[in-house]
């Protein structure tokens, strides 16, 4: 049973759409079919529609249909289901029939099939979720794709996917081979899609009982003043930047609610504590998320070729060196924030790798920012020694990722090993990645350490010109954005790995404004299969393939724990980012006046990259890095306009997005003006912040707003266009390019997310007799519902499918709708008037940016009627 106890003391009653002062989580199990409890005088109710998100489809014979049809499959339900592109399709499979622990049955269903018309470059992804709560690794499913006469079979298909290399009619067949009943979601999307393919409730790793709080100095006084309520729930740990602190929840403090299977989830408790700080005390509080390095495990050196410098050849480094006048980054400081640096004596600041020893700066200060939770160097917490320690109890797992990254940037031009791009640059090793809490060196860190490290450079050093962040996996963090903005404002370029999830989802810090995000290419000059593209990627650089990485400096630990220099092949966007940092160092060695803003202007103007098959601005930004072009154009400082986000995603229903503008220019240059009529594709509208059109001779506004006419969005494929705004300052003339992506409208009426249970839950006690349940009616691609005769009071409104017939809706892999937005449910107040409350359902889940805070331990809402031994009316009026 999924249980939550809710302390509603001091909770404010609000009308629909208003914010709450406290949150409400997962339901108590309801009793009785259809709820009840209203008197004969009760006449207020709730009714509305539930829109089905575009591209949503459902399996034709899921388990809930079986339960509703007297233990037999509906006639014809095993037919192949047609799906569009893009689409998100939920389904059910099982290699056996049996009953769940609660007595509900599930049927044998070993195979589902889907028909779709694919275009080369389309991608697919299958995600599986056990209906019994078993470990996902026990699920065995295969996927067969028949495309244009060719057959592709994937055995362990759960959690996998690929891009297709041909166009034509296709059939996906998914089979259950072992592991019992499970839900699945098959996602199919064009390469240009910006939507993440993950359909789980987001649960990014975080530091339990920790938060980041920012604000004016008065906030510190609030936190340290024993007479104020805020001080009773938190204590200051340390300052990590101007007006920014890491705080910890005081022992014994309880959050407003607890969530999990009959107990507490410490992560959810942490989020509720943060929400309490925001809503009750008005503090700007964020979770202290964890992040990881962005590379795959090192390959063996079996295919080592000496020298194996394909990555340097790909960016034309030899020609760049020839143009640099013999100054190969000398005097340029590069901070590598990573796992620290290889040394044979990790407890001292000396004895660095033979390929880097003369380029590591010999200065003091705090360079190891790893918090005690992740520190294994014998000196817990921040210190001045950034050497990579041997991982206790697992020496072979020790990661020298930071050494490899540093080697790509500045390995010495000596008689051994490799050669770095700026091989006379100065490396400042920073340790922000340590050992994960579950053991083993996995390159894990906490975002407060990263924020503290970046701010320490801005505040305490004047010898750093570029920061390399070969790490990621974070959601947007306001205080990390503030830190990278501070670095940029102080002339420090920030470069970050663009991500390894193989899609266009935004990965932070690479997707931060003013951070240069880097995607990865292979030896053959193609986009690496794992590399992200889109919002997190401003350009591409060599990162290697999974079986053909980039060789550079590393370390080796013997069975006795002794350390020695080594080399290894790694692949990932972790390896791509230092190519850009290294080229910037090489350029600054040629022209010391080069600034971070100038470099970003050159990037936008196309002066750092070459024309190639990867010159697709929507997907890859400026394209493939070319060191020769970069050094050739090192003194250029064109006047350009930067837009953020770089790529805009709009829904087919006509949403609006705000895009921030930034002018990059020399201080003496004239400000740019709009020099011609903007090229706005017919489906879009472009205005300034006040809703006015952008006209010739207008100044570049601080922000523009882009919207789409839903009637102009095609049904069958997404709409991908570029909005162009020509501008000039009399000397430089460019087009500001803003790629816009809109999902296909899918207005055919074929949208279907399965049978939907609608639950109206008493906000004070989900198990109260006042709570009600009805089944939504389906018609022409949408649902409608009505719940009448409600007792006045406060309620939660949710709806969703029960594909696996286990009695719970809104689990991962099932469609879900919450009022007013999925992931951001709020209490509604019912009085004596009927309410019209509309929702949208989907198998997809909102991002943390959309939700505001993540949701941990959520296992869905139990459907009433099952445990009472009765079956609710499941008919949809077919």
Mean pLDDT of 533-558: 93
Task: Indicate the number of domains in the chain.
Answer: 5
42: domain CATH number?
2.60.40.10
Rg of the Cα atoms in the chain: 28
* Percent of the chain topping pLDDT 90: 66
In this structure, are 721 and 791 located in the same domain?
A: no
User: Which pLDDT value is given to residue 288?
Assistant: 96
User: Which pLDDT value is given to residue 28?
Assistant: 26
Residue 699 within any structural domain of the chain: yes
Which one has a higher pLDDT value, 557 or 34?
A: 557
Q: What angle do CA 154, 157, 160 make, to 5 degrees?
A: 105
Residue 300 within any structural domain of the chain: no
User: Which pLDDT value is given to residue 220?
Assistant: 57
- Please say if the pLDDT value at position 13 is more than 70: no
In this structure, are 22 and 105 located in the same domain?
A: no
User: Which pLDDT value is given to residue 308?
Assistant: 83
For 376-388, give the DSSP string.
-SSS-SSBS--BP
- Please say if the pLDDT value at position 827 is more than 50: yes
Residue 65 within any structural domain of the chain: yes
- Please say if the pLDDT value at position 4 is more than 70: no
**Could you report the per-residue pLDDT of 458-473, keeping only the tens digit for each?**
999 999 999 999 999 8
Fill in the DSSP letter of residue 202. Answer: P
**Could you report the per-residue pLDDT of 322-367, keeping only the tens digit for each?**
999 888 999 999 999 999 999 999 988 999 999 999 999 877 789 9
In this structure, are 664 and 616 located in the same domain?
A: no
In this structure, are 405 and 551 located in the same domain?
A: yes
Residues of the chain by 3-state class (helix, strand, coil), percent to 5: 15, 35, 50
Residue 780 CA, distance from chain mean position: 34
State the DSSP H helix or E strand holding residue 458, giving kind and residue range, or none if neither: helix 447-460
* Residue 258: other Cβ atoms inside 10 A: 22
Residue 843 within any structural domain of the chain: yes
- Please say if the pLDDT value at position 296 is more than 50: yes
Tokens of residue 622, six digits = 């400026």
- Please say if the pLDDT value at position 635 is more than 50: yes
In this structure, are 358 and 276 located in the same domain?
A: no
608: domain CATH number?
3.40.50.200
In this structure, are 160 and 121 located in the same domain?
A: yes
Which one has a higher pLDDT value, 265 or 679?
A: 679
Fill in the DSSP letter of residue 20. Answer: P
- Please say if the pLDDT value at position 867 is more than 70: no
Question: Is the CB of residue 496 less than 8 Å from the CB of residue 506?
Answer: no
- Please say if the pLDDT value at position 7 is more than 70: no
Structure confidence at residue 2 as a pLDDT band (50, 70, 90): very low
Residue 201 within any structural domain of the chain: no
pTM of the model: 0.89
Annotation marks residue 401 as catalytic: yes
From the list 597, 647, 635, 638, the residue with the least C-alpha distance to 727 is 638
From the list 14, 42, 97, the residue with the least C-alpha distance to 792 is 42
User: Which pLDDT value is given to residue 231?
Assistant: 60
From the list 658, 648, 619, 642, the residue with the least C-alpha distance to 740 is 648
In this structure, are 538 and 672 located in the same domain?
A: no
Among 742, 766, 790, which residue terminates a domain? 742
- Please say if the pLDDT value at position 259 is more than 60: no
Among 240, 271, 292, which residue terminates a domain? 292
Q: What angle do CA 777, 778, 779 make, to 5 degrees?
A: 125
C-alpha distances in angstroms, 30 versus 580, 765, 796, 812, 865? 57, 10, 13, 21, 8
For 686-751, give the DSSP string.
EEETTSPBP-TTPBPPSEEEEEE-GGGS-SSS-EEEEEEEEEE-SS-EEEEEEEEEE-----SS--
In this structure, are 382 and 476 located in the same domain?
A: yes
- Please say if the pLDDT value at position 513 is more than 50: yes
Residue 311 within any structural domain of the chain: no
Q: Of 2-11, 496-505, 699-708, give the lowest mean pLDDT range.
A: 2-11
In this structure, are 545 and 619 located in the same domain?
A: yes
- Please say if the pLDDT value at position 547 is more than 50: yes
Tokens of residue 507, six digits = 């990965």
Residue 196 within any structural domain of the chain: no
- Please say if the pLDDT value at position 816 is more than 80: yes
**Could you report the per-residue pLDDT of 83-139, keeping only the tens digit for each?**
999 999 999 999 999 999 988 999 999 999 999 999 998 999 999 999 998 887 889
94: domain CATH number?
2.60.120.380
- Please say if the pLDDT value at position 626 is more than 50: yes
Give the SS3 label for residue 508.
strand
Q: Which residue has the tokens 């010898």?
A: 463
Can the peptide bond before residue 820 be classed as cis, meaning omega within 30 degrees of 0? yes
Alpha carbons 625 and 630: distance in angstroms, whole number? 8
Task: Check 59, 338, 373, 383 and give the catalytic one.
Answer: 338
Among 585, 611, 632, which residue terminates a domain? 632
Fill in the DSSP letter of residue 228. Answer: S
Alpha-helical runs (H) found in 754-861: 848-851
Mean pLDDT of 521-549: 94
In this structure, are 706 and 782 located in the same domain?
A: no
Q: Of 18-22, 672-676, 865-869, give the lowest mean pLDDT range.
A: 18-22
Task: Check 214, 258, 260, 401 and give the catalytic one.
Answer: 401
Q: What angle do CA 447, 603, 499 make, to 5 degrees?
A: 35
State the DSSP H helix or E strand holding residue 130, giving kind and residue range, or none if neither: strand 123-130
User: Which pLDDT value is given to residue 43?
Assistant: 67
Fill in the DSSP letter of residue 54. Answer: T
Which one has a higher pLDDT value, 6 or 545?
A: 545
CA dihedral 697, 699, 705, 709 (to 10 degrees): 0
Mean pLDDT of 188-198: 77
Phi and psi, residue 451, nearest 5°: -60, -45
Can the peptide bond before residue 86 be classed as cis, meaning omega within 30 degrees of 0? yes
**Could you report the per-residue pLDDT of 592-621, keeping only the tens digit for each?**
999 999 999 999 999 999 988 899 999 999
Write b or e for each residue in 592-603: b if 16 or more Cβ atoms lie within 10 A of its Cβ, otherwise e.
eebbbbbbbbbb
In this structure, are 138 and 222 located in the same domain?
A: no
**Could you report the per-residue pLDDT of 360-394, keeping only the tens digit for each?**
987 778 999 998 888 888 777 888 999 999 888 78
State the DSSP H helix or E strand holding residue 601, giving kind and residue range, or none if neither: helix 596-604
Alpha-helical runs (H) found in 19-135: 63-68
Annotation marks residue 231 as catalytic: no
Query: Mean pLDDT for the chain?
Result: 86
User: Which pLDDT value is given to residue 12?
Assistant: 28
* Percent of the chain topping pLDDT 70: 86
Residue 30 within any structural domain of the chain: yes
Domain residues for the domain of 691 are 640-742
User: Which pLDDT value is given to residue 40?
Assistant: 38
User: Which pLDDT value is given to residue 297?
Assistant: 60
Alpha carbons 816 and 846: distance in angstroms, whole number? 11
- Please say if the pLDDT value at position 76 is more than 90: no
Task: Check 87, 574, 597, 642 and give the catalytic one.
Answer: 574
In this structure, are 795 and 844 located in the same domain?
A: yes
Question: Is the CB of residue 29 less than 8 Å from the CB of residue 1?
Answer: yes
Annotation marks residue 338 as catalytic: yes
């Amino acid at each position: 049973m999924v249980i939550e106890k809710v302390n509603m003391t001091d909770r404010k009653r609000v009308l629909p759409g208003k914010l709450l002062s406290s949150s409400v989580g997962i339901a108590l199990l309801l009793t009785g079919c259809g709820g009840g409890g209203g008197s004969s005088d009760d006449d207020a109710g709730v009714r509305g529609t539930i829109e089905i998100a575009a591209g949503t489809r459902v399996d034709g014979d899921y388990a809930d249909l079986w339960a509703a049809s007297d233990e037999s499959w509906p006639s014809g339900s095993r037919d192949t289901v047609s799906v569009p592109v893009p689409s998100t399709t939920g389904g059910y499979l099982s290699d056996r029939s049996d009953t769940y622990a609660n007595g509900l049955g599930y049927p044998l269903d070993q195979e589902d099939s889907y028909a779709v018309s694919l275009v080369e470059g389309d991608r697919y992804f299958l995600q599986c979720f056990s209906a019994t709560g078993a470990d996902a690794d026990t699920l065995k499913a295969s996927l067969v794709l028949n495309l244009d006469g060719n057959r592709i079979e994937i055995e362990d298909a759960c959690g996998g996917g690929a891009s297709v290399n041909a166009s034509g009619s296709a059939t996906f067949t998914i089979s259950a081979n072992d592991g019992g009943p499970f839900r699945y979601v098959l996602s199919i999307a064009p390469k240009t899609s910006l939507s993440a393919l993950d359909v789980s409730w987001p649960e990014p790793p975080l530091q339990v009982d920790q938060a980041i709080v920012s604000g004016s100095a008065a906030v510190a006084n609030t936190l340290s003043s024993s007479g104020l309520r805020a001080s009773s729930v938190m204590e200051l740990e340390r300052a990590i930047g101007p007006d920014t602190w890491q705080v910890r929840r005081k022992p014994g403090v309880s959050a407003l609610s607890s969530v999990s299977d009959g107990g507490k989830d410490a992560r959810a408790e942490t989020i509720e504590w943060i929400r309490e700080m925001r809503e009750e005390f008005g503090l700007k509080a964020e979770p202290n998320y964890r992040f990881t390095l962005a590379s795959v495990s090192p390959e063996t050196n079996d295919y080592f070729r000496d020298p194996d410098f394909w990555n340097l050849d790909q960016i034309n480094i030899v020609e760049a060196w020839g143009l640099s006048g013999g100054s190969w980054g000398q005097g340029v400081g590069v901070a590598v924030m990573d796992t620290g640096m290889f040394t044979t004596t990790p407890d001292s600041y000396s004895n660095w790798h033979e390929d880097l020893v003369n380029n590591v700066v010999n200065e003091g200060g705090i360079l190891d920012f790893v918090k005690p939770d992740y520190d294994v160097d014998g000196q817990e917490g921040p210190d001045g020694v950034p050497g990579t320690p041997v991982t206790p109890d697992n020496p072979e797992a020790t990661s020298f990722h930071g050494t490899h990254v540093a080697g790509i940037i500045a390995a010495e031009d000596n008689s051994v090993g490799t050669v770095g791009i700026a091989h006379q640059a100065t490396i400042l090793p920073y340790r922000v990645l340590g050992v994960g809490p579950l053991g083993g060196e996995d390159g894990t860190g906490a975002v407060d350490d990263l924020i503290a490290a970046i701010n320490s450079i801005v505040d305490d050093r004047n010898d750093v010109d570029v920061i390399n962040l070969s790490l990621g996996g974070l959601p947007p963090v306001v205080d990390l954005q503030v830190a990278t903005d501070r670095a940029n404002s102080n002339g420090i370029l920030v470069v970050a790995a663009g991500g390894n999830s193989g899609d266009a989802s935004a990965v932070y810090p690479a997707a931060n404004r003013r951070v240069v995000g880097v995607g990865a290419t292979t030896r053959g000059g193609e986009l690496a299969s794992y590399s992200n593209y889109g919002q997190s990627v401003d350009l591409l650089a060599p990162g290697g393939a999974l079986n053909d990485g980039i060789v550079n400096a590393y370390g080796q630990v013997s069975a006795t724990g002794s350390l020695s220099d080594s080399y290894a092949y790694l692949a990932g966007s972790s390896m791509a980012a230092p190519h850009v940092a290294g080229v910037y160092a090489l350029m600054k060695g040629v022209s010391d006046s080069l600034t971070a803003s100038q470099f970003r202007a050159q990037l936008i103007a196309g002066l750092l990259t070459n024309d190639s098959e990867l010159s697709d601005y929507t997907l890859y930004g400026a394209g493939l890095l070319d060191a020769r072009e970069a050094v050739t154009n090192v003194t250029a400082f064109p006047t350009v306009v930067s837009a953020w986000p770089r790529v805009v995603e709009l829904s087919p229903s006509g949403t609006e997005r705000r895009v921030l503008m930034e002018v990059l220019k020399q201080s003496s240059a004239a400000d740019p003006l709009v020099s011609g009529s903007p090229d706005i594709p017919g489906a879009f509208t472009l205005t300034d912040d006040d809703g006015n059109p952008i006209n010739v001779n207008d100044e570049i506004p601080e922000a523009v707003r882009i919207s789409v006419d839903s009637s102009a969005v095609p049904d069958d494929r997404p709409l991908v266009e570029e909005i162009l705004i020509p501008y000039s300052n009399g000397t430089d003339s460019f087009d500001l390019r803003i790629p816009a992506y809109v999902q296909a409208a899918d207005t055919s009426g074929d949208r279907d997310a399965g049978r939907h249970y609608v639950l109206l839950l008493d906000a004070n006690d989900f198990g109260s007799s006042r709570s009600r349940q009805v089944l939504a009616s389906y018609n022409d691609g949408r649902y409608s519902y009505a719940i009448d005769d409600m007792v006045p009071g406060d309620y939660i409104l949710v709806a969703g499918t029960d594909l696996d017939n286990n009695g719970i809706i809104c689990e991962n892999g099932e469609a879900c709708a919450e009022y007013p937005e999925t992931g951001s449910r709020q209490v509604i107040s019912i009085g004596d008037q009927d309410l019209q409350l509309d929702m949208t359902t989907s198998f997809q889940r909102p991002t943390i940016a959309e939700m505001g805070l993540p949701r941990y331990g959520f296992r869905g809402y139990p459907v009433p009627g099952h445990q009472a031994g009765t079956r609710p009316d499941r008919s949809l009026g077919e």
